[in-house]
Structure 1
């Protein structure tokens, strides 16, 4: 478990940056941002193969933990409206 948490701590800033890049380039509904972070976390966890000797299941768990911590677990149940990229201003 310690190795999973160490890997999650290392990849969390990468996920934050990638999610922020996605939010600024694509108009998404705000309630989809945690799901995007979770998916990005899974992808980054899988691609961390050259940097760790963990099995793929443990890397996926680290990606899930890092993805959820990147946006905040509370946002999954929080009702959010609107879009991430200026789409609200056009309406």
Structure 2
């Protein structure tokens, strides 16, 4: 499990960059689909990174890619500055 988390932490930067490229390349992409796109990209990058993770089997690399995809969405949202409110509890007075 430690190897999977270590590999996911390496992949998270790559997946974040690829997700951002897709978001800027597709102008009318709904923000609701971004986590799903990041998850799919993470799984694909995890599967394609065979030369860099020879000690992990395919299943472990897919899990690491999935973790990296979901973590990349959270990582981007932490750095993203929000303006306005999202509901009745978040109203700015």
Shorter-chain TM band: 0.7 to 0.9
Higher relative contact order (CA 8 A, sep 6+): 1
Bigger radius of gyration among the two: 2
> Deviation at 1:16?
0.3
Task: Give unmatched runs, 5+ long, in structure 1.
Answer: 76-91
**Shift in Å at residue 67 of structure 1?**
0.2
CA distance in 1, matches of 2:29, 2:2: 34
**Aligned length in residues:** 74
The 2-side partners of 1:52 and 1:70 are apart by 19
Q: Deviations over 1:17-58 (max 9, x none)?
A: 000000000021000000000000000000110011210000
Distance 1:64 1:52 in 2: 15
- For the pair 1:48 / 2:49, whether they are aligned, the reply is yes
- When normalised by structure 2's length, the TM-score is 0.76
What value does the CA root-mean-square deviation take over the aligned residues?
1.4
- Residue 8 in structure 1 maps to residue 18 in structure 2: no
Counterparts of 2:24 and 2:53, CA distance in 1: 30
2:83 maps to which residue? none
- Separation in 2, partners of 1:66, 1:32: 16
Matched residue, 2:64: 62
